[in-house]
Amino acid sequence: MRVVFLGAPGVGKGTQADRIAGQFKIAKISTGDLLREAVRNQTELGREAKRYMDQGQLVPDAVVIGLVRDKLAEPGSMNGFVLDGFPRTVPQAEALGKVLQETQRPLHRVVKFEVPRQDVIRRLSGRRSCPKCQTTFHVEFAPSKKGDACDRCGETLIQRSDDTPEAIETRLQVFEEQTAPLIRYYASKRLLSEVNASGSVDAVFEALFSVLAPYSAI
C-alpha cells in the first residue's frame, strides 16, 4: 500500500500515520519527523531547516525532496509506505511522481483530512511532546497521566517551537497557499479520498481503514 496523507497542520495526520503503518506493516515517512531529528542532531541540514520551521515556513523543496528520495530507496519502504506531511507543494508532488514512476511504484490513494479551522488551532496549541521518546500528547484530548511529564519515560514534556500562536497562523496560511492546490492536483489524477478527521482518534482510524483496506492486499 502506497498512500499520502494530506491536510492542514494539526489535523492528526501523524497520529493516524503511526497507526496505519503499524496496522498494515508499511513504513511511515514523515518529513516533519525527519527534519526535527536533523535539528536535534544539529546536522547542517537541521540547522538550515530550523530557521524555516520555527517561523512556520516551508523548508526548501530540494531539501525535503532529497530526504524523501533517500527514504524511498531504503528496503523498509518496499512493502509500502504512508507519507505524512509530504508532498506540501506542487513541485514536491511532481518530484514524488517522478521517483515513484522510476521505481514503478505508483500511489494507490491520497487521503485528505478534513477538520474545521477552529478545531485545528485548538489541537495545535494544546499539543505537547516528549523530547526523549517522541510520544505526543494533548493537554485536553490526550493528556499524560503524569501531568507535565511523559507517562512512558518520565521526561518533561515540551511544546513544539512551531506550535506558538504566530507560527500556527503562518503554517495555516502556508497550507492554504502552497499545499491546498494539491487537492485539485490529486483529484484530477483520480487519487483523492476525503476523511472527516474531527472525531476521536479511533473514529478517524476506522474511517481511514475502510478507505485503505482495499489496497492492503496489493
Nearest to 180 by CA among 61, 65, 90, 84: 90
Query: Which three three-digit cell numbers place residue 92?
Result: 514536491
Stretch 98-137: interaction string toward ligand AMP, x if CB under 6 A: ----------------------------------------
Quick one: 158 or 213, whose CB is closer to ligand AMP? 158
Quick one: 58 or 197, whose CB is closer to ligand AMP? 58
Catalytic positions, written as ranges:
13, 88, 127, 160, 171
Does residue number 35 form part of the binding site for ligand AMP (CB under 6 A)? yes
Could you give the CA distance from residue 109 to residue 129 in angstroms, rounded to a whole number? 29
- Residue from 85, 137, 138, 168 binding ligand AMP (CB under 6 A): 85
Does residue number 9 form part of the binding site for ligand AMP (CB under 6 A)? yes
- Residue 41 buriedness (CB in 10 A; 0-12 / 13-18 / 19+): exposed
Quick one: 33 or 194, whose CB is closer to ligand AMP? 33
Could you give the CA distance from residue 129 to residue 93 in angstroms, rounded to a whole number? 29
Taking the complex as a whole, the smallest distance from the CB of residue 198 to ligand AMP amounts, in Å, to 18
Does residue number 59 form part of the binding site for ligand AMP (CB under 6 A)? yes
Taking the complex as a whole, the smallest distance from the CB of residue 19 to ligand AMP amounts, in Å, to 16
The stretch near ligand AMP (CB under 6 A) out of 57-65, 100-108, 128-136, 150-158 is: 57-65
Kindly give the pairing relationship between strand 192-196 and strand 136-138. Answer: unpaired
Q: Exposure string (b/e) for 44-66, b if CB count within 10 Å is 16 or more?
A: ebbebbbeebebbbbbebebbbe
Binding footprint of ligand AMP, residue count (CB under 6 A)? 17
The stretch near ligand AMP (CB under 6 A) out of 49-57, 74-82, 102-110, 114-122 is: 49-57
Phi, psi of 41 (to 5 degrees): -80, 0
Does residue number 171 form part of the binding site for ligand AMP (CB under 6 A)? yes
Taking the complex as a whole, the smallest distance from the CB of residue 39 to ligand AMP amounts, in Å, to 9
CA distances for 213 relative to 65, 67, 95, 182, angstroms: 28, 28, 27, 23
